[in-house]
Amino acid sequence: MAGNGGGGGRRHCSGVLESLEDCFTGFLIVLLEWHAQVRRRLLPLLRRQRMALLAAPAVAAVLLLTWAAYGEAQYVLYKDATKPVEARVGDLLARMTLAEKIGQMTQIERQVASPQVLKDYFIGSLLSGGGSVPRKQATAAEWVSMVSDFQKGSLSTRLGIPMIYGIDAVHGHNNVYGATIFPHNVALGATRQANQQTKPAAQDSQASISLIGSSVLFILLSRDPNLVKRIGAATALEVRATGIQYAFAPCIAVCRDPRWGRCYESYSEDHRIVQAMTELIPGLQGDVPANFTSGMPYLAGKNNVAACAKHFVGDGGTQNGVNEDNTIIDRRGLMTIHMPAYLNALQKGVSTVMISYSSWNGIKMHANHDLVTRYLKDRLNFKGFTISDWEGIDRITTPAGSNYSYSVQAGVLAGIDMIMVPNNYQSFISILTSHVNNGIIPMSRIDDAVTRILRVKFTMGLFENPMPDTSMADQLGKKEHRDLAREAVRKSLVLLKNGKTSDKPMLPLSKKAPKILVAGSHADNLGYQCGGWTIEWQGDTGRITVGTTILDAVKAAVDPSTTVVFAENPDADFVKNGGFSYAIVVVGEHPYTETKGDSLNLTIPDPGPSTVATVCGAVQCATVLISGRPVVVQPFLGAMDALVAAWLPGTEGQGVTDVLFGDYGFTGKLPRTWFKSVDQLPMNYGDAHYDPLFPLGFGLTTQPRTY
Active site residues: 389, 594
- Other C-beta atoms closer than 10 Å to the C-beta of 439 total 8
Q: Which of 444, 467, 386, 445 is nearest to 420 (CA)?
A: 386
CA dist., res. 639 & res. 656, Å (int)? 21
- Other C-beta atoms closer than 10 Å to the C-beta of 618 total 20
Strand runs labelled E in 274-348: 308-312, 326-327
Instruction: Decide: 165 and 525 in contact? Cβ < 8 Å.
Output: no
CA dist., res. 64 & res. 72, Å (int)? 12
CA distance from start to end of the chain: 72
The residue type of 314 is G
Q: Can you give the three-state secondary structure of 663-697, one letter per residue?
A: CCCCCCCCCCCECCCHHHCCCCCCCCCCCCCECCC
DSSP 147-177: HHHHHHHHHTSSS-PPPEEEE--SSBSTTST
Q: Which residues pair with 497 in a beta bridge?
A: 643
CA dist., res. 507 & res. 657, Å (int)? 11
CA dist., res. 243 & res. 466, Å (int)? 10
Q: Which of 467, 157, 455, 118 is nearest to 306 (CA)?
A: 455
DSSP 410-435: HHHHHT--BEE--S-HHHHHHHHHHH
Q: Is 15 left (phi over 0), alpha (psi -120 to 50) or beta?
A: left
